[in-house]
Amino acid sequence: MADRWLKTNCLLASAAAFWLAALSPLPQIGKGISYSLALVASVQLVGESRRLIGQDARRAALTAMNQELEQVEIGLHTQQQEEALYEIYGAAPTYPPEVDRELKTSLEHLYKEPSADRTKETSTSQEKAFYLAIKSLLEVKGKTHVIEEILKMGGRQWDEAERLLQQILQQGKQNEWD
Residue by residue, DSSP assigns the chain as -HHHHHHHHHHHHHHHHHHHHHHSS--HHHHHHHHHHHHHHHHHHHHHHHHHHHHHHHHHHHHHHHHHHHHHHHHHHHHHHHHHHHHHH-SSPP--HHHHHHHHHHHHHHHH-TT--HHHHHHHHHHHHHHHHHHHHHHHT-HHHIIIIIS---GGGHHHHHHHHHHHHHHHHHTT--
Domain residue ranges of the chain, discontinuous segments joined by +: 1-91, 118-178
pLDDT of residue 48: 92
Whether 34 and 21 have beta carbons less than 8 Å apart is answered as yes
Whether 18 and 38 have beta carbons less than 8 Å apart is answered as yes
pLDDT of residue 100: 65
Note down pLDDT in tens along the chain; length 178 residues: 778 889 999 999 999 999 999 999 999 999 999 999 999 999 999 999 999 888 888 888 888 898 888 888 888 888 888 777 777 766 555 557 776 677 667 666 665 666 555 455 556 777 877 778 778 777 777 788 778 877 777 788 888 888 888 988 898 888 887 7
pLDDT of residue 125: 72
